[in-house]
Amino acid sequence: MKPSHFSNLGIKPFKKGLIDLGEHIYCYLQPDGGWGWSNAGLVTDGDESLIVDTLFDEDLTYQMLKRMQKAEPKAMKNIVSLVNSHSNGDHCNGNNCVDTSEIICSKATLEEMSHESPEIMASLLENASEMGILGQYFSDCFGSFNFKEVTRRLPNTTFSGSVERYVGDKKVELIEVGPAHTNGDILAYVPQDKTVFTGDILFIEGHPILWAGPVENWISACDLIISMDVDFIVPGHGPVTDKKGVEAVKYYLTYLRDEAKSRFKSGMTALEASKDINISDFSEWGDSERIIVNVNSLYREFKNETMREDITVLFSQMAELKETSL
């Protein structure tokens, strides 16, 4: 069913900083929620805490940790676990800043992290001026982040399926729902606080990006969130939402799947389909050029192919689409 609206999906003010969600549970938000501007979470009980995700560079992560320490000074002295929801650097590049003995993620996420590095991002930014429209686009997206000063720290604990962690008496359920956005996406669900941290399974008021797929897994993950007893849903990007926000993302994914499938059957290329699909319902969402990646991934599914398009090609096509739409 098509939602009645696709804007004003936030239920808390979307402002930078630590947002109190109730019983010693928080989210850290970074407007505007676009490329690299991700969210994180803090769960505490008594003298223990658990953090969900770090940020794209160490400076930003230390800023976040200072806010958390001010809000929960006792609990932040004993961080029992740091959870990485998936492999993208804007959710794990700050791991080295966190004083904890356990960093946990899915097995698929740890494997995928080996293919991503802040050094690559730093090199691309350094050479952006020689890369034409692609370099300008890359600088616009990622030029605000300091990748040169990132010291990578990989998770030391992995799981498949689901696992539980306790923060004091609070249970945190880690549930693997990938491959979807990436190969190893997980949700962090805190039943006692009726809160779920979704990582990039949810982009609220921004276009999702389907790096991995299959899309059906992502749609199923949305259904799982909708089935939960939750009041607060913290996305990987964008404002805190409720189930209306999840329904909007689910509709986007199903709509794009169906529209891409019809154009695939008619013989259009992925690029032609990306430019032809009407996404006016989502005109207020940011980063609409991500439709390039999304349709490319859907075509890969339709063809039963596993090899992804070269990422440089995809970013070049996104850069061109954004420039022509301005």
218-259 pLDDT tens trace: 999 999 999 999 999 999 999 999 999 999 999 999 999 999
SS3 state of residue 56: coil
pLDDT(103) > 80: yes
Question: Nearest-CA neighbor of 236 among 212, 207, 193?
Answer: 207
64 belongs to a structural domain: yes
Band the pLDDT of 5: cuts 50, 70, 90. Answer: confident
| Per-residue model confidence as pLDDT tens digits over 127-181 | 999 999 999 999 999 999 999 999 999 999 999 999 999 999 999 999 999 999 9
Does residue 295 sit within a domain?
Answer: no
**What's the burial of 324, exposed, middle or buried (CB within 10 Å: 0-12/13-18/19+)?**
exposed
Res 203 pLDDT > 70? yes
Tally the domains of the chain: 1
Average pLDDT of the segment spanning 79-83: 98
Residue with tokens 């990485």: 84
List the Cα angle 64/65/67 in 5-degree steps. 65
Does the pLDDT at position 93 exceed 90? yes
Q: Which of 92, 97, 136, 142 is nearest to 122 (CA)?
A: 142
Give the β-pairing of 40-45 and 25-29. Answer: antiparallel
Does residue 37 sit within a domain?
Answer: yes
**Backbone φ and ψ of 177, nearest 5°:** -125, -5
* pLDDT above 80 (res 324): yes
Q: Is residue 324 part of a domain?
A: no
283 lies in some domain: no
Identify the CATH number of the domain in which residue 151 sits: 3.60.15.10
Within a domain: 40: yes
Mean pLDDT of 98-122: 95
Query: Is the model's pLDDT at 37 over the cut of 80?
Result: yes
Q: Would 122 be classed as within a structural domain?
A: no
pLDDT band at 15 (very low <50, low <70, confident <90, very high): very high
Range of the domain at 86: 17-116+144-259
- Mean pLDDT, residues 29-45: 98
Q: Where are the beta strands (DSSP E) in 65-161?
A: 79-83, 103-106, 157-159
Cα–Cα distance for residue pair 130/128, rounded to 1 Å:
5
pLDDT at 114 over 90: no
Model confidence at 2: pLDDT above 90: no
Phi, psi values for residue 39, rounded to 5°: -110, 165
Predicted confidence band of residue 325 (pLDDT cuts 50, 70, 90): confident
User: Do the domain assignments include residue 5?
Assistant: no
